[in-house]
Structure 1
Amino acid sequence: MDPKKLAQSYDQIADHWNGEEFNSDNGLPQHRRALQFVRNPGLALDIGCGSSGRFIDLLLGEGFTVEGLDLSSRMIDLSRKRHPEVTFHHADITKWKIPQLYDFITAWDSIWHMPLTAHESTLRKILQALKPGGIFIYTAGGLDTPGEKYDSNMGPEVYYSVLGVPKNLAIFTEEDCVCRHLEYDQYPELHLYFIVQKK
């Protein structure tokens, strides 16, 4: 999987998340559930922030100082126009050096696009970027074993990878984190999200 090609794919469809056909409530109930575990609404990071700004709006409303990150330059351009007061990073999360610790990190429908070979190390890096008590919410394919695939449901071909549920849970323990919630929220589709807390 070439990150440049992924970025180009998302550049082509960046406006989708701002159109009438997009469900702007997508992921918000799950994020509200995750926010119930927050001890301190300090710093937050939205990985794969996209262009809709819905999670950034939610986090700003909860009193967080928010940063966004995306691989797509078009997504970043649209996000900066929507939220000029927010710091955005145009970067590849697998290579980006996370600059500080965060109280809340979200990666909704985003990090499953990174190469399978980089998946575990990047997940560990994100978990290590949580402050004690910090919360991480993210989506994963609900498989039991590692896997990868390409999909063209959105138009351009897009790559996906998963570590599998058991491996995710093992990494949480090894990184001194606890799984607070795990849900197949679109069952029978294998769309899964985790809420994880740093001890």
Structure 2
Amino acid sequence: MTEPAFLSATRDSYDAVAAGYAERFRDELASTPIERALLGAFAEEVAGPVLDVGAGPGGVSGYLHGLGVDVSGVDLSSRMVELARLAHPGVRFEVGSMTAIVRDDRSLGGIVAWYSIIHVPDERLPGVFAEFRRVLAPGGRVALAFQVGDETRHLAEGFGMEISLTTHLRPLERVAGLLVAAGFRVDVRMVREPEAEGVAARGYLMGRRIE
């Protein structure tokens, strides 16, 4: 079966920029207390194993692990997975995709997707959320972070490397509506306004799988 082009392009792009990306965002959570608070609330509420999808170099997984969460991470980029394993040896990381999660039905207590659904095209996002619901136990928690807007951006260069990376900015309520349609109750909706001109607002959604 042929892999969708957006997955191949995303994987190749992050493989290319992995070292620079990991260095740039190594301490990102240290400078974002709001995100630490949201992840802390998630950690307190979740019960059972958690999967960080699109884990990148592992910062969010490592933070949750430090809070006592039974967390593992998956990422399309094998290079990102290598760097995550080096940075967070106490967490299990593997190559994988949020479009086809290698977990049994109802086997997870929570899913975190921190700035990773942004590379999924609009027509594929309902399927991703259906996959989240499949692997979550009833009442399982989901936490999303993503850039807010209503446009698609394409990057041909990043960290001095030639890439082909597409980012989809979406209104908060559109993403929330897709979660609800997939069988989730959304109980946290928040937008953090841009801190500088040209920087997108950031959206956060937290919810739980309903029966």
Q: What TM-score range do you get, normalising by the shorter chain?
A: 0.7 to 0.9
Write the distance in 2 (CA, Å) between the matches of 1:186 and 1:153. Answer: 26
Q: How far apart are 1:173 and its partner, in Å?
A: 2.6
Say whether residues 1:172 and 2:179 are aligned partners. yes
Write the distance in 1 (CA, Å) between the matches of 2:207 and 2:128. Answer: 15
Matches within 5 A, 1:70-109: 70-100=75-105, 101-109=107-115
Identity percentage over the alignment? 21
Q: How far apart are 1:23 and its partner, in Å?
A: 4.1
Which structure 1 segments of 5+ residues have no match?
Answer: none
Partner of 2:202: 191
Say whether residues 1:150 and 2:154 are aligned partners. yes
Write the distance in 2 (CA, Å) between the matches of 1:148 and 1:170. Answer: 19
TM-score, structure 2 normalization: 0.76
Q: Is the 8 A contact 2:153 2:168 kept in 1?
A: yes
Residues 121 and 164 of structure 1, relative CA distance in 2, 3 Å threshold: farther
Partner of 1:120: 126
Greater alpha carbon shift after TM alignment, 76-85 vs 32-41: 32-41
Tell me the SS of whatever aligns to 2:8. Answer: helix
Write the distance in 2 (CA, Å) between the matches of 1:181 and 1:49. Answer: 22
**What CA deviation, in whole Å up to 9, does each residue of 1:29-64 have, x standing for no partner?**
32532442543442111111111x322222112222
Write the distance in 1 (CA, Å) between the matches of 2:117 and 2:182. Answer: 18
TM-score, structure 1 normalization: 0.80
Q: CA RMSD in A?
A: 2.8
Q: How far apart are 1:120 and its partner, in Å?
A: 1.4
